[in-house]
Structure 1
Amino acid sequence: MKIRSAIFSTLFMIHGVVMADECTTWGCFSTIETLYVNASGNIFVGTPLDETKANCTASSGVFFTLNTKSSNAKEMYSSLLAAYMANSKVQLRIIEGSGSCELSYIRLGKY
């Protein structure tokens, strides 16, 4: 029994820690539930979690925003679309204290 436990523990450490879906002060780690683009070109991102836990003011109380004037906005939007289409988990890091929960970066990975 101890050998099985040791093998399981070793395999778990090799594969890394499984990250749970969560929203916290820095942003959210989850799947993307909503991508919303309005006629003005604003891009809003929603997860199935509570974005109000982030240290910012979520747009409409539920969305993070992508600044379309950022030099890499197209790349960030492309990453968001890829994660949405694949139903993959993504880390959405916001600029803490921003009035619109502006995304600082997006991280994709095999979690």
Structure 2
Amino acid sequence: MITAYHAKYFAYELTKRCASDNLEKLSSTLSNAQVDLNPHQIEAALFAFRSPLSRGALLADEVGLGKTIEAGLVLSQKWAERRRKILLIVPANLRKQWNAELQEKFFIP
């Protein structure tokens, strides 16, 4: 879990680097998320938000670096913006794990 200080810091960094009308929602998501964030995960979320097409992104870090968390940050923002048409492509054997983690850590149904 992140502290209130870290949530504010990450929200500040996101505000500095990412032009979005909905960063307040993301900072709220960060403070409500049940995760320990690493700087590279914030960078991956920023990358997804800055995608040149702004319609999607491919998060393809190595095993164990927290792709579920990175995707959860992006999905939380989209969910907060009331965007409900979201396509996630994950290996079949990881679907249950991703579903459980997104529900437990980001409260995404």
- Normalising by structure 2, we get a TM-score of 0.26
Who wins on radius of gyration, i.e. which is larger? Answer: 1
**Could you say which structure has the higher strand fraction?**
1
Q: Which has the higher helix share?
A: 2
